[in-house]
């Protein structure tokens, strides 16, 4: 190994070149540039990380908002559906109630009609029984017929069933002694009925007519049949 601690003789120096500090400055500048590049890259990397974090946060917020919006839309649709179902159910219930009420009203009318008809039938039986045992119930009918004709000072003809005439002849002759009253038996009439004639006018007080007028006031059209009479 050669010893370079001694001075170098001039004959050993072929050429001499002056030392310049430019190379050192260039190296320093290069190092500084490299450091700046690294810092720039580091900053860029941090910015990218921040951008990625911001993107992820924004994406998460967007997902959360989308989920919340979708949930709100689903809830609104459910509320609309339930409201529509409630409206339909209410309408159906109203229609059902009205139909039921109409059926109830109809049933009540049928029942009322049935009760009315039954009452009329019972009244018919009671009246028929009364006429069969007490012909005197015909007296008010004859009086009313004579009053309607205004025959107090005129003559009148009273037609009765033979059995009624047999019972009422004496009573009528006494009560209307001041009136030219003519009593005639008429087998075409049913017991309990009569025809009163005066001056060309006739009052039909037969059982059929009286019964029809009575039930007509009740809205019925029942007739008094001859077959209803006891044999």
Taking only the tens place, the pLDDT of each residue in 45-93 is 888 888 888 778 777 777 788 878 888 888 888 888 888 888 888 887 7
Q: What are the chain's domains?
A: 135-220 (3.30.2320.30)
Residue-wise pLDDT for 212-231, tens only, equals 887 777 777 767 764 444 43
Mean of pLDDT values over 168-197: 89
- The pLDDT, as a whole number, for residue 231 is 36
Of 162, 226, 216, the closest CA to residue 194 belongs to 162
- pLDDT band of residue 188 (cuts 50, 70, 90) is very high
Is residue 31's pLDDT more than 80? no
pLDDT value at residue 187: 92
Count of alpha carbons within 13 angstroms of residue 151, beta-carbon side: 26
| Residue 171 pLDDT > 50 | yes
pTM value surpassing 0.75: no
CA distance 216 to 19: 150
Strand intervals (E) in the chain = 156-160, 181-185, 194-198, 201-205
């Amino acid at each position: 190994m050669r010893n370079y601690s001694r001075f170098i003789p001039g004959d050993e120096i072929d050429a001499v070149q002056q030392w310049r500090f430019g190379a050192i400055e260039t190296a320093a500048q290069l190092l500084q540039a490299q450091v700046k590049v690294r810092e720039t890259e580091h900053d860029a990397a941090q910015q990218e990380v921040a951008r990625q974090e911001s993107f992820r946060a924004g994406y998460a917020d967007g997902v959360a908002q989308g989920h919340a919006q979708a949930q709100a839309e689903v809830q609104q649709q459910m509320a609309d559906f339930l409201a529509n179902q409630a409206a339909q159910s209410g309408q159906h219930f109203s229609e059902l109630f009205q139909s039921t009420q109409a059926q109830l009203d109809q049933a009540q009318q049928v029942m009322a009609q049935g009760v009315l008809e039954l009452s009329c039938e019972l009244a018919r039986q009671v009246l028929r029984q009364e006429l069969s045992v007490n012909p005197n119930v015909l007296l008010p009918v004859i009086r009313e017929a004579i009053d309607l004709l205004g025959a107090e000072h005129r003559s009148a003809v009273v037609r009765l069933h033979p059995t009624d005439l047999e019972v009422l002849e004496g009573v009528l002759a006494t009560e209307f002694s001041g009136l030219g009253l003519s009593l005639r038996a008429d087998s075409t009439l049913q017991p309990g009925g009569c025809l009163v004639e005066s001056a060309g006018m006739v009052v039909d007080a037969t059982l059929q007519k009286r019964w029809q007028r009575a039930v007509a006031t009740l809205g019925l059209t029942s007739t008094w049949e001859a077959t209803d009479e006891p044999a």
